[in-house]
Structure 1
Amino acid sequence: MKDGLTPQLGDIVQVSLKTYPSEESPEDMTAVVIKVIGNKNDPGVDIMAIVADHDVKTEWSDEALEQANQIPDHVTAADKAGRDDITQQAAVTIDGDDSKDFDDAVVLWKLDNGNYHLGVHIADVAHYVTEGSPLDIEAFTRGNSTYLVDRVIPMLPFRLSNGICSLNEGVERLVLSCDMEITPTGERVNYSIHPSVMKSHGRLTYSKVNRALAGDNLDELEEKYRTLRPMLVEMAKLHDILYQKRHKRGAIDFEEPEAKIIVDKMGKPIDIVLHERGTAEKMVESFMLLANETVAEEYFRRHVPFLYRVHETPDEEKMKTFFEFVSAFGLNVKADPHDVKPSDLQQIVTKTAGTTEEAVVQMMMLRSLRQAHYSAEPLGHFGLAAQYYTHFTSPIRRYSDLIVHRMIHEYGVGKPATELQKHFQGKLDEIAEQTSVQERRSIDTERSVNDLKMTEYMANQVGEHFDAIISSVTSFGMFIQLPNTVEGLIHISNLTDDFYRFDEKSLTLTGRGKHHQFKVGMPIKVKLINADVAQHQIDFEIYDPNTPKIKNNDHNQTKTPYRQRTSQNNRPYRKRNRQR
């Protein structure tokens, strides 16, 4: 302890082990305190303990902060050199109500030939975060921003992420533009990728754009929404065209509500709110997807090293199991699990849309897919049915996008192609690995924090009854999900009306005596019997006051760790979650 920090009573600390137990001294272990996270009763310390446990970096090097402080807080005349001036275009940002950093803006108008001009303008972070600089080293180490219930752990210092790199309303900002010409049938017939200077004509929010599109109570909205409404209406039309085109080629479109945990000033959860995506969210998704595909295709066709976002074809055995699973719901699946196509899965999603089986089928499908990741090889994106795909649209919060921007700049400055190719080719594998690993780290951290806060939220509801759906069945019990997305376990020992056996092939638990069966997707009534905040564990039992109790002694009754939830990075584009 003498070489480390000296914590106070009640402090949560991070330690480095120095000596380990041995056969001679099984209880002998020493450690040095390397960081005091804070007192266990202080607001937010519980979250920061999880952050430390996942090794998410929160502090900046002095060199990185010094570099950030030296960057001007406004666009200079020198910055504008060689850039197109698009400050007169009515480009707008569209984000959530509580967003603070804005890295993408969009603009749309109709051309004389009847086609659409769509401009997607992305914050030019690479202009400020140069290769090998202290800020670049920090961004590479972090890989991406981590979004928690009450805070953001950013990839870049606040001065950049919320300042000079953020496309704030009414101020000039540097961007990389992807301008596209699109026909009324959704064909992209022309495009240009180039550096620009823009000025946001409106910081718009999803909720208000949806109200403007609906045309309800327009007088209650700010003037900018009424002024921009004609463009927003055309954007919604183009989104529908692009969506139909993606659907036709087989892209899998998952629709599910997103849960947001609301906490008070002390960090205590007070509500879990479900948010259904509206047209505004979906049209921004469509535009970002198209820009990502366009950029990826351009640099693939140039035959230069590039960083791709890839999603490989699913494992054959997992697909076979999934097809057997959906067949139990009466779906006639004719797809070949050895040669599955995105359209095969899309048809299943379409057939179950609006049914009671929709959520569970999508959940099982997501579990059957591979995880999306980064690669220097253009392996395609199965979920989007896209041959070329990259991440171009979020350089404030993802290092992958920052690297893509850096390569776009470098490939356009006239350096010898062989020199550039050799330079980037030697770096991309490491960057792909680091960004993929850090993405997984952030997802796991975000999930652990959500589990903690959901458990806290349920802790004062022990004894209450809830409607639920069975989300997974295992040999030790079954996981259930409440309408607010809270998940918990019904352990096999708490199934007290019979002795149950697990069938791995059908994923069912069947009573030996009464032959009652529990299967994935089944609605049930449950009672909350435990919410262990320390272990992030929630336990339920079947609620039936008339059921006699039978103890399942032939099963292991020890607590079983919760399974990993479905990976978010196979889900559709979400501006504050993982993109595909």
Structure 2
Amino acid sequence: MAKNKIPQKSKKRKNKSDLVTSILNFFNRNTSKAFNYKQIASDIGAKTEAERLAVRAILDDMKEDSFVLEVSRGKFKSNTRGLFLEGRFERRSSGKNFFVPDDNEEDNIFIAERNSAHAMNGDRVRIQMLAQRKGREPEGEVVEIIERKQTRFVGTLNVQKHFAFLEMDSKILANDIFIPADNLNGGVTGDKALVEIEEWPKKAKNPVGRVIDVLGKAGSNNAEMHAILAEFGLPYKYPEYVEEEADKIPDVISEEEIAKREDFRKITTFTIDPRDAKDFDDALSLRKLDNGLWEVGVHIADVTHYVQKGDIIDKEGEERATSVYLVDRTIPMLPERLSNVLCSLRPNEEKLCYSAIFEMDDDANVKDYRIKRTVINSDRRFTYEEAQEIIETGEGDFKEEVLKLDSLAKKLREKRFDYGAIAFDRVEVRFDIDETGKPVGVFFKEQKDANKLIEEFMLLANRTVAEFIGKVPKGKKAKTFVYRIHDLPNPDKLQNLSEFIRRFGYKIKTKGSKVAVSKSINELLDDVHNRPEQELISTIAIRAMAKAVYSTTNIGHYGLAFDYYTHFTSPIRRYPDMMVHRLLTQYIDGGRSVNKEKYEEECKHCSDMEQLAANAERASIKYKQVEFMSDKIGRVFEAVISGITEWGLYAEIIENKCEGMIPMRVLDDDFYEFDEKNYCLRGRRTKKEYRLGDKINIKVAKANLERKQLDFDLVE
């Protein structure tokens, strides 16, 4: 059969514009594979030699514009980011703006201020890639703000006759917020205020806002602590209507309710908590059984008996997701009537609990366990210091029970480390604070045996509850549950840690079994204990680890060396624990599995809020450090280099662990370059090096409370 003749008009040579359109369409259809120019030319009907050469030239242009990638010699692949990308807008402390794409957190794209479209830090945006100039970093332009991350900002008011500005402490906005006089809400110059942006006209230099709340005079303790919370989008006061709802809950436990529960009221039970704690959400009981085993009860406040799913209190707790602990205060997840009264396991009061009860031998082997709703009556409220004294002296109230629990806890801990758990016992900085909130001293809080006693039994309860739901016979599917997961360390970060510690004479394994790697990390942490580089190496080791988060997909907890782990033991201060209590009840009662996607969203919210709370806590510590050092300007201290950046050195004072910055401009004896891989600054002419971990002498130059920043000078 004769071939059909090609119509004469189709032989017309394609012009460049047609070829470009055809190639664009080709790559939009074929995003995953790589092609050479001949394959592309054939597909789009570019048949003449001239057309094929034109295709090759267009591909080279597209490569320059980052639309396609040349993955190997002569083979091109669609740059799946395309010409338009979606992701997160970031303003860095260096003054530069960057765009972080969804599909590649490492690949940051520079956004000039003129191309930012008034995007704010954390906004979700759509950008268009700009033509890349040779030798320059990739650059983009914001074409759409998809979602504002933040519309409320904290700063200090500067009030003029007919208008005001909110001047912000941190440069998360390029410009101060303009506030019309009738939007001031009673604020005056010098007030710390929370302001909401209402509009940002396209051609206006400043956004326009209104004062939501006046937090108090800048510099006053309450105003500054509230400002830190507001800065992270965290609540700083409890809604009255929620507290009123909590006040309606009766405090009488009915006989009918007690009859449904296992009764521990006559079994020796006590709490061990920090000195200043008011919310006692866990208690331990101990008794010797007739079979020769020890019965250890881990009793957790039964918060979900009082807080029903979807009620006013529950919705507030769900939104907050966690209690927040600042230097001088706790911002509770639940109203105080619940957290400090009804659900607090106070001594000599009948309390409702959810309990994990273990039968153990003298070697802390769990022979049996049960998970029950219970009623208890705590015999004693111990502080950690009181319990520690009993452990050290062998004398005190309930000494037999405390010493036996300590002995069992030590054996549980030993087994955990044998299985590959990692021992990150960090020293915590704490402040002695006077009645006005001013820090008058610094002390360090270390984990002692009493802390570890409580920790081990909480870990055992959390692991057991997770196994109870998650560990199912082969061939059966586990019901949806909330797990606390911790992924394996990042291999690159682990390798960087290995290279860094080598200069101190230490080694770790970066390959091999999970247990072998974690044991070598533990040996490192033991070796550096009480040495000058301890805090530094511990910090870098922690950075090599993944972050622990909540998820319905269980991958185990690497740091604890548990295949199953959850959070069950702190429902007063963590919403995931309340979720776990409810799911336990539902499944024990024979209920069906819940919707995984819905609970995964809830897990993500709780993980995000936990991170915000941790950031706020760090900010409050930083503020108090700067405040503590503000009357020590000009004094010289021994310090250790704790961080190195392209704009200077960070140094931590050995005596009090207050950290400050030595700006690059202070290092004026040479031009210093940042060597990121080797954690050092190196002088171009003298080759002098400042390395992470080096001891130096510093002089306190400046204490800027507004920016929570200490500036140091280097003292040779």
Q: Same fold (TM over 0.5)?
A: yes
Change (3 A) 1:307 1:46: same
Tell me the residue number matched to 1:209: 387
What residue is the counterpart of 2:323 in the other structure? 145
2:336 aligned to which of 158, 161, 169 = 158
Tell me, in whole angstroms, the C-alpha distance in 1 between the residues paired with 2:183 and 2:530: 61
| Partner residue, 2:502 | 327
Distance, in Å, in 1 between the alignment partners of 2:356 and 2:431 is: 35
Name 2:555's counterpart in structure 1: 379
Cα separation, partners in 2 of 1:85 and 1:114, compared to 1, 3 Å? closer
Q: Please tell me whether Structure 1 or Structure 2 has the larger radius of gyration of its CA atoms.
A: 2
Work out which of the residue numbers 599, 602, 605 in structure 2 matches 1:428.
599
Q: Which amino acid aligns with 1:485?
A: K
The equivalences for 1:73-112 within 5 A come to 73-111=251-289
Q: 1:130, 1:366 → 2: CA distance? A: 38
What's the offset of the Cα at 1:202? 0.7
| Partner residue in 1 for 2:657 | 485
2:528 aligns with 352
- Asked if 1:508 is matched to 2:686, the reply is no
Tell me what 1:307 maps to: 482
Match of 1:284 in 2: 454
How many Å separate the matches in 1 of 2:511 and 2:490?
12
Is the 1:473–1:508 Cα contact (8 Å) retained in structure 2? yes
Q: Is the 8 A contact 2:363 2:408 kept in 1?
A: no
CA contact (8 A) 1:44 1:266 kept: no
> Can you list the C-alpha shifts for 1:349-405, whole angstroms capped at 9, x where unaligned?
233334333322211111111111100011111111111110011000000111111
Matched, 1:235 2:405: yes
Counterpart for residue 459 of structure 1? 630
Q: In structure 2, how many angstroms separate the alpha carbons of the residues matched to 1:333 and 1:514? A: 33
1:43 Cα deviation from its structure 2 partner:
4.1
Q: CA deviation at 1:102?
A: 0.4
CA distance in 2, matches of 1:536, 1:61: 29
**Are 2:198 and 1:26 aligned?**
no
1:364 corresponds, among 525, 530, 540, to 540
The size of the alignment, in residue pairs, is 529
For residue 518 of structure 1, what is the amino acid of its counterpart? Y
Secondary structure of the structure 2 residue equivalent to 1:79: helix
Aligned to 1:570: none
Task: State the AA in 2 paired with 1:274.
Answer: F
Q: Shift in Å at residue 513 of structure 1?
A: 4.5
Residue 44 of structure 1: SS of its match in structure 2?
helix
1:473 maps to 2:630: no
Contact 1:252 1:349 in 2 (8 A): no
- Is the Cα contact below 8 Å between 1:467 and 1:482 reproduced in 2? yes
Q: 1:343 corresponds to which residue?
A: 519
2-structure distance, mates of 1:542, 1:101 = 45
Secondary structure of the 2:397 match is helix
Structure 2: 5+ residue stretches without partners:
1-179, 473-477
Contact 2:413 2:456 in 1 (8 A): yes
Higher share of residues assigned strand:
2
SS in 2 for 1:16: strand
1:21 Cα deviation after fit: 5.1
Alpha-carbon deviation of 1:498? Answer: 3.9
Query: Residues 437-469 of structure 1, C-alpha deviation per residue, up to 9 Å, x if partnerless?
Result: 110111111111111111111111011111111
Point out the more displaced range, 349-358 or 155-164. Answer: 349-358
Greater RCO (Cα-Cα under 8 Å, separation 6 or more):
1
Q: What residue is the counterpart of 2:142 in the other structure?
A: none
- 1:17 correspondence with 2:172: no
Once the two structures are aligned, what percentage of the paired residues are identical?
A: 35
Question: Contact 1:139/1:399 (CA < 8 Å) preserved in 2?
Answer: yes
What aligned pairs does 1:529-540 form with structure 2 within 5 A after superposition?
Answer: 529-540=701-712
Q: Judging changes above 3 Å, is the alpha-carbon distance between structure 1 residues 58 and 510 closer, same or farther for their aligned structure 2 residues?
A: closer
Structure 1 residue 32, shift from structure 2 partner: 1.6
Which one-letter code corresponds to 1:153 in the other structure?
I
1:471 maps to amino acid: S
Question: Which stretch has the larger CA shift, 298-307 or 103-112?
Answer: 103-112
Counterpart amino acid of 1:442? A
Q: CA distance change for structure 1 residues 355 and 456 in 2, over 3 Å: closer, same or farther?
A: closer
Q: Partner of 1:246 in structure 2?
A: 416
| Alignment partners' CA distance in 2, 1:504 and 1:26 | 36
Read off the aligned partner of 1:353 and give its amino acid letter.
H
Post-superposition Cα deviations, 1:221-254, rounded to whole Å, max 9, x if no partner, equal xxxxx23111111121112111111111111011
Which residue identity is paired with 1:453?
K
Aligned equivalents of 1:253 and 1:41: distance in 2?
A: 39
CA shift digits 1:470-503 (9 cap, x unpaired): 2222222221112322111122222244443322
Asked whether the 8 Å contact 1:87–1:172 carries over to 2, the reply is yes
Moved more, 175-184 or 291-300: 175-184
Task: State the distance in 2 between where 1:112 and 1:518 align.
Answer: 65
Q: Counterparts of 1:414 and 1:234 in 2: how far apart (Å)?
A: 37
- Of 562, 570, 579, the residue aligned with 1:403 is 579
Deviations for 1:491-541, whole angstroms, at most 9, x for unmatched residues? 222224444332222112233444433222222221111111111111112
Query: Is 1:252–1:346's contact at 8 Å kept on the other side of the alignment?
Result: yes
SS in 1 for 2:205: coil
Q: Which residue of structure 1 lines up, in the alignment, with residue 467 of structure 2? A: 297
**1:234 to 1:430, Cα distance in 2 relative to 1, 3 A:** same
User: AA paired with 1:350?
Assistant: D
TM-score, scaled to structure 1:
0.87
Q: Deviations over 1:37-64 (max 9, x none)?
A: 2233654111111111211123445553
Distance 1:376 1:14 in 2: 36
Q: Deviations over 1:311-366 (max 9, x none)?
A: 11122211221221122222233432897843342232233334333322211111
Say whether the 8 Å CA contact 1:316–1:338 is kept in structure 2: no
Give the TM-score taking structure 2 as reference length.
0.71
Q: Which moved more, 1:353-362 or 1:89-98?
A: 353-362
**Compared with structure 1, are the counterparts of its residues 538 and 496 closer, same or farther at alpha carbon in structure 2 (3 Å cutoff)?**
same
Q: CA–CA distance in 2 between the matches of 1:476 and 1:116?
A: 59
CA RMSD of aligned residues (A): 2.1
Aligned position for 2:615: 444
Q: Secondary structure at the residue paired with 1:490?
A: strand
One-letter code aligned to 2:217: N
With over 3 angstroms needed to count, the CA separation of the structure-2 counterparts of 1:482 and 1:117, relative to structure 1, is farther
CA 1:63 to 1:534, structure 2 compared with 1: closer, same or farther past 3 Å?
Answer: closer
SS class of match (2:286): strand
Q: Amino acid of the residue matched to residue 480 of structure 1? A: A
The one-letter code matched in structure 1 to 2:663 is H
Contact 1:320-1:337 within 8 A present in 2 as well: no
